[in-house]
Amino acid sequence: MTYNNSMKFLILFSLTFIFRNVLSNVNPLPYEAIFNFGDSISDTGNEATLHPPMPINSPYGSTYFKHPSGRLSNGRLIIDFIAQAYGLPFFPAYKNLIEGQDITKGVNFAFVGATALDFNYFNKSMVALPGTNNSLSVQLKMFKRLKPSLCKNKKDCRNYFKKSLFLVGEIGGNDIFSHITPKFSNFRNLIPLVVNKITGTTISLIKEGAVEIVIPGNFPVGCSASLLAVVNTNNTKNYDEFGSFKAFNIVIQYFNDNLIYSITTLRETYPDVKIIYFDYYNNAKRLYEEPQKYVGTCFYVGFDKDETFKACCGGGGPHNFDPRMGCGSPNTTVCSDPSKNINWDGVHFTEVAYKLLAKGLVEGPFAYPSLKPAPFQIA
C-alpha cells in the first residue's frame, strides 16, 4: 500500500470512528450494553487469562488483531461483529477486568470448553470431562457478582437492563461432544438436561431484569473438519449430498428442536420478555452447501469449494486436522488465505465465516424474531 493510500485509509477510518461517536451521542443506540454467556464460539479472553497466553507468533488472531487475542479464530467472532454493528466496543472478558474499568457497555462471561451442565455431572457420568469448570451456572454467578457494579438498585437495574441484550450461548455443544460415540448411546437422555439448564439460566436472567434475550441453537457439527477427521469412514451412506456426516447433524437437530420447544414455552410464560432464537444450524449449513455463492466482496474472494471441509490451520490429513497437533503447534500448517476457508482450526470458524454468520443474524433471516435494526453494517 502506498503512502497516499495509507493516509487515505487512516483518514477514512478516523472519520468512521468519529461519525459513530457523534451518531451515538445524538441518537441512543438500540442496545446500550451486551452481556454474553457461552463457550469458545464467543470467548474473547476469559480462558486465555487463566492459562498461559499463546506465543506471540501463534496464528490465532493473525488476520484482524495481528496477535493472539483470546479468541479461537484468526480474527473476530460473531459477538464482535454484533457489537460493532450496534456501535458498541469489543466488550471485555470478565476475567480480564481491572479496577475502575468501564463495564457499562457489556461484559463477556463465555469460556473456552464451557458446558451447560455443571462439572460434577461429567465427573459422576464417567464421560470425557470438559476442559473447564466454568459452566453456565458458574458464568451466571459471575454476572450476579458483577451486577452491583452495573446498577445501584432495583429501579436502576430495571431501566439499565431494558436497554441491554443478553446472549445465552451458543452453549451445549461441549456437553454433546463429551457423549459422542459411534452409537450415540446417551444423547437422547442428555439433551433434555442440557436444554433445561439453558432454560433455567434464562429464567434467572429474566428475574435479574433481562427483557431481551438471545438463545442460539447449535451448528451442523457433521460438517466440522474435526469430527469428520475423527469419523474417517469411506461409507458414502453416512454422508449427505454435500459431504457432512449425517448422524452428527441429526443429534444437533434433535437438540435444536428441544431448545426451540423450550423457547416457545418461555415466551408463553414471560410474554413481556423478547426471546430470540438464533438459527446457527441453517445459518452455517448454507456456507457448506454453497461455498462458492459467498463471493464478490472487497475483503475476500470467496470460499474454495475444495477446502469446504478442511481446516485452514491444522495437522494434516484429508481434513487438515489431527487431534494430537492443535493449530499453531509444531508441524502444523496454516493456509495461505484463511478467507477461502470456512473452518479455521478444525472446530472453530474463520473470521470471514463468522462475519457471514453474524450478517445472517443481524440482517436476517436467521434470527427469530429479529434483533433491533443495527445502525451500522457488518464489514
Q: What CA–CA distance (Å, rounded) separates 93 from 111?
A: 9
- Label the pairing between strands 274-278 and 367-368: antiparallel
Interval 55-77: pLDDT, tens: 888 999 999 999 999 999 999 99
Contact between residue 134 and residue 217 where contact means Cβ atoms under 8 Å apart: no
Contact between residue 222 and residue 252 where contact means Cβ atoms under 8 Å apart: yes
Mean pLDDT along residues 261-276: 98
Residue 336 CB neighbours (<10 A)? 7
| CATH number belonging to domain 29-226+245-294+350-368 | 3.40.50.1110
Interval 35-56: pLDDT, tens: 999 999 999 999 998 887 788 8
**Range of weakest confidence among 134-143, 175-184, 286-295:** 175-184
C-alpha separations of 282 from 141, 218, 253, 279, 349 in Å:
32, 9, 10, 6, 15
Q: Is pLDDT above 90 for 332?
A: yes
Confidence of residue 300 (pLDDT cuts 50, 70, 90): low
CA torsion sign for 280, 282, 285, 291 is negative
> Which residue in the list 67, 135, 348, 370 is annotated as catalytic?
348
Amino acid 49: pLDDT: 86
The answer to whether residue 164 is catalytic is: no
> Which residue in the list 40, 69, 226, 339 is annotated as catalytic?
40
Interval 126-149: pLDDT, tens: 788 888 999 999 999 999 999 999
Amino acid 218: pLDDT: 98
The answer to whether residue 62 is catalytic is: no
C-alpha separations of 159 from 95, 154, 201, 370 in Å:
26, 9, 21, 22
Amino acid 181: pLDDT: 60
Q: Is pLDDT above 90 for 199?
A: yes
> Which residue in the list 39, 80, 175, 345 is annotated as catalytic?
345
Higher-pLDDT residue of 157, 182 = 157
The answer to whether residue 185 is catalytic is: no
Residue 132's region, left for phi above 0, alpha for psi from -120 to 50, else beta, is beta
